[in-house]
Each structure stands twice: as structure tokens, then as C-alpha cells.
A and B are shown apart, each in its own frame.
Chain A
Amino acid sequence: MDYTKTQQQLSLVRRVVFKELLEGYMPLPVDRAACARWAKDLPRSGETIIYTSYMYQLGSVFKSYAKLLERFSGVRFASRFASLGGLVVKPKKDELERAALILGNIVSLLRRSYPQLAYLYEDEPYSGALLLELGFLDEFQAYGKKVFGFLRERGVRRVITVDPHTTNALLRLKNLLSDDLDVVNYLQLVHPANGGGRFVMHDSCLYSRYLGIGSEIRGILRDSGVSLVEDRMVTAQDTSTCCGAPLESVSEELSERIARARAAKLASVCEDVLVACPLCYQNLSPYVQSVHDIAEVVS
């Protein structure tokens, strides 16, 4: 394995992402208002918030983060490059529309229990998950203190996350900072609803093997009328594997190789794949016939 390129890429991502986060709470300049447009009738402040961390709105951008940096920099891995300058990334229209459906559905699932659910709209900061997952723990904690401080200033006491990467990042941050902010994922709060279809479930690694809620999620799906096809060698907790998305910022080629392999395994069980993570959706989509998010099949 030639680690020269991966080390250079990591170095570039580290410099740029940390600087951008400290300056603007986002890993890259983006039209945040467009990302927040999905929500119309949620209060802008409250003790309990839904926290998207832009994962559904910008999944394709996060997936190609390193490639974007490379393109914006103009100079491949130039050592002096450390800023995105005045560039602004435009979210994709179809991705925003899909995110609006998913996030709107999640809100409707939560509203029964949380009628006062709030949303920070374009003020919402990114979680810092990218820093954690690439092992930049010093930067992750430094930025995390800023995020938690911001949330406290806004009177937030309970954060309801909607994706595994943000959930894992905030829980890790709580652990590292010994903070008592209440962090919970929406799938741990919702009750069985209306659903349908027959799928093979591609578990999120973080939900299944880190947070240990894979069985809970299956329970909600089954009780909602969704049929899941299981295979001991493909979908069990100890045999299912990552889609490769977290490696996009380190090695796009390796990430795609892992995605193709995982997609082939899933397709051997069922052509219709169900995911619970916007990055899994992004990484598997090119290689499977159909892929849906949980919040697209349960409402």
C-alpha cells in the first residue's frame, strides 16, 4: 500500500476542515439557508432540538469532501493550501428535496412525543464527526467544546440526532469532555408506524456495532410492516460490514472497492436495500438496483 498519497490527503483535510469549522461551524462554505429550508413550522429555539448536522442535505458533498478540496485548491495537495477562500458549495436540488422528505418524516414520527421540537435552521453547527473519524482527536475536542458551548447558549438541553455519524460523534464528545448534554438518536425514540416493502437491511456500522441498536431498529421496521430478508453471512451483526463511506476522505478508490463488494453481498440477498444512514445511501447507490432510507419506508 502506498501511504504517501493517503498521508498527504489526510494532512490537507485536517488543515482545511479544522480552520473552516472554527471560522464558520461548517467543514466547507455552503449555502446553509438552502439546507435548512426543509423545515418550515418548527420553532427556532427550545430545550429539545432535532439536529441534522447537514448529513442528509449534504451527503454527496461529505462523501466527496477530499475530492472537493482537491478541486477547489487548484493545486493537487499543495502544501500551502489551507483555505477554501470565498467559494461556496451549492447543495444539489434533488438531494435537498429527498432530505426534506426524510427529515420531514422524522419530525412527524417524533412530534407525537415531542410537540415542542425545535430546530436551529441555518444556525445549526456541523458536529465535527469528520474530525473524529479521521482520528484528529485534538481538533475534534477543541471544535466540540465550541459546538457544545453554542448549543448551551441557545438553551438546548436535549439533542435528537437523525444519523449514525452525528450520534456517535456527539456521544464520543460527551465522553471526552465529560459533558452531560442529553444526546439520543430518533430511532431510539420513535414507535412502530406505517410501513411496507421487502428489503435487505444494510446496517449502519455505528448503529449496529457501536451503539448496539441494530435489533431495536429491526423491531421498529418489522412492527411497522416492513419485511426484512436476513442472511447469516451477510446481515448478522458479526458478518455485515461497512459500505466504505468513512474512507472517502482518505482513499476514494478503496472506499469504492469496499462499496462494490458490500453491494454485491447485499444484492445476493435481495435487490432492494434499506439503509439508515445518508452516507451509506451515497456509497451504495451506484452499485445496487434500489436503495431507500428507513425514513422513506416508515411514516
Chain B
Amino acid sequence: MSDEWGVALERTIQNNTPRLDRILTDYPFIPNHAEKLRQVKLDVLDHLDDYVRATCESVERSGGTPHLAKDRDEAQGIVREICGNDGIVLFSKTNVALELGLRESLAADGHEVWETDLGEFLIQLARDHPSHIVQPALHLTKEMAGRLLHDKLDASITENSSYEELVACVRAFLFRKYVAAKVGITGANAVAADTGSVVLVENEGNIRMDTVVPSIHVAVTGIDKIVPTLDDAFLEAQVQSAYAGLYPPTYINVTSGPSSTADIESKKVTPATGPKEFHLVLVDNGRRKAQEDPQLKDALLCIRCGRCYFSCPVYWALGSEWVPPPYGGPMGAMWSAIVNDDTRPATLCTHSGGCKVVCPIKIDIPRVLEHVKWLNSKK
């Protein structure tokens, strides 16, 4: 990796670690939330079929359309059919969409496709790969971002532009896309089985736009993101944002079906102001197989806070070169085995063990990676 990578990573860790220390001091209930979350997620994994069925039934009850995709091809087919043949499609940094290659497949169909998370947008412009699951453009310094925007978006931006000028430039561009977009595609931090609600955490406001302005909202996520109740989904939103170092999050979005109103005689009518369609695409893509493997199963508890990345010397040394995207770092070395059947990244685990210490869900990542190394040795 480049010297700029070292600078960007060091700055991020120096900012992030004290911030998390403060969050855990100011909000001491967070670790208890994390422990409870581990328990409810274990319960879901032990009864996965029941929870998938309950989630689909709940989505239907709320007026949405549930879909099940067993692999990348099925997921692409479902989303392509929903999106039709043309129009603007917006993405809100969904790692599952990256896992499935949705952006590329929709672009190939003729859609104008844009990422709306600032970091992911920069990555898209640069035709690059995300270097961190929460902060995909972690490897870009301010100067690099300025040069990129100058070349690709706005000639008035330079490497000397302020942070605020960089953000405003992207904001102005994306606003034109929001009002014209046909479909908004999000992931999910959690999906509540009892209500069929999708819960999403964010700070930028782009997810709020993606889920409300286009006439169709598609949430694409793994079956591992199901939790029993909406209460549990809020738990996951809080724990994920806290351990990402961003607590309280600026926004927690809840979507339960398409937009609706009951303002006239309490008669529920769909759509109202927001989307007329809501689709939830639940993706397997290796997750069921992992759930059946007692050693790999723990990896499915991951809440994608990205904490383990910062504790790992292999990630420091290799960045996004270590694990093929979208997943990276120690969690990516586990998830690469699950979704890509690629066990090789685990062989570079030096069992530093920081990942295990910092994981809020207490996933014994080194032990999982020991198992993945063993799987690698059997090939």
C-alpha cells in the first residue's frame, strides 16, 4: 500500500479510537445492548427458516413484496426485473449489493446508476474498491478526493478545496439525481421479523432520500440481518453505530412497506408521498451453508461496525489488497469464505487477536479464521 494509505489510516485510527472510548464512557449501556444483540441473533441463526418465513409474511402484511434469492444470479435477476429497462437507480452504500454486483448489472442494462454515500460515491468515481466497510473511502486523503472531484465532477474543485467545498460539490450533484431517480436501493442494518421493517443507520441523509424520493425502494440484504423484533432492530442500529464510533447516529430510518396514509377516516391508502413500491430481497449466497457449519456460524453474527479492521496489523499493511471486495479486514477474511468460497485471505491471519477483543458481538474471529485456514488446507 502507498504512503498515503498509511497517513489516511493513522489519522482515522487516531480519530476513531478516542471517540469510541468516549461513547462507551458516556453511554455505558451499549455493551449490554451488544450482549443482548448477540443472544437474539444466535436465536435467529438457530431457527433461520422460521425467521425468514416470518419476515416475508410481515413484509407482505405491510404491503411490501418479499423476495428470496439463493445466490448472486437470482438476486441480480430479481432486482433487474424490479428496476425495468431504464431510469436512474440510486444506491446507498449497501455492501450486499456490492457482493452481488448489482451496480454493474444494472449499469449494463442501461440504467444510470449512482452511489449516494459520499465515500462510496468517491469510490465509484475513482473506479476503485472500498477499503473499509463503514468508511469505504478511508484510503483517500482530502487532497486525493479534491483531485478526483476536479477531474470527474467539477473543475472548480482542487486539492486545496476545503472539506466543506468537497461535500457541497457532491451534494449539489446528487440532488439533481434524487429528484429524477426511479429506484432507490439500500441495504439494511437490521430486518425485524415481527414487522417486516428495515432499519438503516446513517449520518449523511442520503439513505433518507433514497428510501423516500424515488417511487420504488428496494432493500437488499443478507438473511443474517434478520432479528426477531423491531425492538431488536433498534438495538442493532444503536450497537452498530456506537462501535463504528458514530453515536448517536444522525438518522435511524425505519421502512415498513411502501408509503401510506390513513388521514381520511383512518382508511389506509398506499402510496402516499413516498414510494409506491417496497421490495425486500433477502439473500442467501452462502449464508445458509455457513449457518450449518458450527465453526463458521459465528461469522454470521457480524454487525458490520468495522471495528476489527482497525485492530488488525495485516489490514494496516495490506488495506483492501488483503481480501477481495466488498468485505475486508478480519471480518472480510471470514466473509470471503462464506460468499465467495475464497479461503485464501484467512491464511494471512497472524492471530494478532485484537479483532476478538474489540468485536462488540464477541465473535472469536481468530478461531473462525483458524477454521477457514483448515478449510483452505483441505482444498
- Given A136-B377, A261-B316, are A247 and B348 also a contact pair (CB < 8 Å)? yes
Interface residues of A in 234-263 (CB under 8 A from B): 237-242, 244-247, 250-251, 254-255, 257-258, 261-262
Contact assessment for B344 and A3 in the assembled complex, using a CB-CB cutoff below 8 Å: yes
Contact assessment for B14 and A233 in the assembled complex, using a CB-CB cutoff below 8 Å: yes
Closest to B376 in A: A135
Contact assessment for A254 and B311 in the assembled complex, using a CB-CB cutoff below 8 Å: no
Contacts of B316 in A (CB 8 A): 241, 258, 261
Contacts of A10 in B (CB 8 A): 347, 376-377
Q: B205 near A: Cβ within 8 Å?
A: no
Q: How far is the CB of A5 from chain B (nearest CB, A)?
A: 11
Contact assessment for A238 and B311 in the assembled complex, using a CB-CB cutoff below 8 Å: yes
Q: B42 near A: Cβ within 8 Å?
A: no
Contact assessment for B347 and A209 in the assembled complex, using a CB-CB cutoff below 8 Å: no
Interface residues of B in 15-52 (CB under 8 A from A): 17-18, 21
Contact assessment for A209 and B321 in the assembled complex, using a CB-CB cutoff below 8 Å: no
Contact assessment for B350 and A258 in the assembled complex, using a CB-CB cutoff below 8 Å: yes
Contacts of B344 in A (CB 8 A): 3, 6-7
Interface residues of B in 297-333 (CB under 8 A from A): 311-314, 316-318, 321-322
Closest to B373 in A: A135
Contacts of A254 in B (CB 8 A): 314, 317-318, 348
C-alpha spacing A254/B316, complex, angstroms: 11
Contacts of B313 in A (CB 8 A): 241-242, 244, 258, 261-262
Closest to B370 in A: A135
Q: A177 near B: Cβ within 8 Å?
A: no
C-alpha spacing A209/B353, complex, angstroms: 6
- Given A10-B347, A14-B377, A205-B353, are A239 and B317 also a contact pair (CB < 8 Å)? no
Q: B356 near A: Cβ within 8 Å?
A: yes
- Given A247-B348, A254-B348, are A135 and B377 also a contact pair (CB < 8 Å)? yes
- Given A209-B352, A258-B350, are A237 and B357 also a contact pair (CB < 8 Å)? yes
C-alpha spacing A245/B352, complex, angstroms: 10
C-alpha spacing A269/B349, complex, angstroms: 26
Q: A293 near B: Cβ within 8 Å?
A: no
C-alpha spacing A246/B366, complex, angstroms: 13
Number of interface residues of B (CB under 8 A): 34
Q: A87 near B: Cβ within 8 Å?
A: no
Q: B351 near A: Cβ within 8 Å?
A: yes
Question: A66-103 CB contact bits vs B (8 Å, 1 = yes)?
Answer: 00000000000000000000000000000000000000
Contact assessment for A133 and B354 in the assembled complex, using a CB-CB cutoff below 8 Å: no
Instruction: Pick the residue among A133, A238, A250 that contacts B357 (CB under 8 A).
Output: A238
Q: How far is the CB of A11 from chain B (nearest CB, A)?
A: 9
C-alpha spacing A134/B349, complex, angstroms: 9
- Given A14-B377, A241-B313, are A135 and B347 also a contact pair (CB < 8 Å)? yes
Contacts of B170 in A (CB 8 A): none
Instruction: Pick the residue among A135, A255, A257 that contacts B346 (CB under 8 A).
Output: A135
Question: A193-237 CB contact bits vs B (8 Å, 1 = yes)?
Answer: 000000000000110111000000000000000000000110001
Instruction: Pick the residue among A136, A233, A237, A250 that contacts B374 (CB under 8 A).
Output: A136
Contacts of B312 in A (CB 8 A): 241
Q: How far is the CB of B228 from chain A (nearest CB, A)?
A: 30
Q: A33 near B: Cβ within 8 Å?
A: no
C-alpha spacing A254/B1, complex, angstroms: 11
Contact assessment for A242 and B352 in the assembled complex, using a CB-CB cutoff below 8 Å: yes
B interface secondary structure, majority: helix
Contacts of A205 in B (CB 8 A): 350-353
Closest to A259 in B: B313
Contact assessment for A250 and B347 in the assembled complex, using a CB-CB cutoff below 8 Å: yes
Closest to A209 in B: B353
- Given A233-B17, A258-B317, A261-B313, are A244 and B373 also a contact pair (CB < 8 Å)? no
Contact assessment for B346 and A206 in the assembled complex, using a CB-CB cutoff below 8 Å: no
Closest to B375 in A: A135
Contacts of A250 in B (CB 8 A): 347-348
C-alpha spacing A135/B316, complex, angstroms: 22
Interface residues of B in 333-378 (CB under 8 A from A): 344-348, 350-354, 356-358, 366, 370, 372-374, 376-377
Contacts of A210 in B (CB 8 A): 351, 353, 366
C-alpha spacing A251/B313, complex, angstroms: 14
- Given A14-B377, A135-B377, A254-B317, are A241 and B352 also a contact pair (CB < 8 Å)? yes
Closest to A10 in B: B347
Contact assessment for B354 and A246 in the assembled complex, using a CB-CB cutoff below 8 Å: no
Closest to A140 in B: B374
Question: B126-143 CB contact bits vs A (8 Å, 1 = yes)?
Answer: 000000000000000000
Contacts of A262 in B (CB 8 A): 313
Closest to B356 in A: A209
Contact assessment for B348 and A6 in the assembled complex, using a CB-CB cutoff below 8 Å: yes
Most buried by A among B314, B346, B356: B314
Contact assessment for A1 and B318 in the assembled complex, using a CB-CB cutoff below 8 Å: yes
Contact assessment for B317 and A261 in the assembled complex, using a CB-CB cutoff below 8 Å: yes
Q: How far is the CB of B16 from chain A (nearest CB, A)?
A: 11
- Given A14-B377, A136-B377, A137-B370, are A242 and B351 also a contact pair (CB < 8 Å)? yes
Q: How far is the CB of A206 from chain B (nearest CB, A)?
A: 7
Contacts of A134 in B (CB 8 A): 347, 373, 377
Q: A205-B351, A209-B356 are in contact. List 18 more A-B contacts (CB 8 A).
A: A1-B322, A1-B348, A205-B352, A206-B351, A208-B353, A209-B357, A210-B353, A233-B14, A237-B357, A238-B354, A239-B17, A242-B313, A242-B350, A250-B348, A251-B348, A254-B317, A255-B350, A261-B317
Complex A-B: 8 CB contacts under 8 Å? A1-B322, A209-B357, A232-B17, A232-B18, A241-B316, A251-B348, A257-B317, A262-B313
A-B pairs with lowest CB-CB distance, top 10: A135-B373, A209-B353, A242-B352, A241-B313, A3-B344, A137-B374, A258-B313, A242-B350, A257-B317, A205-B353
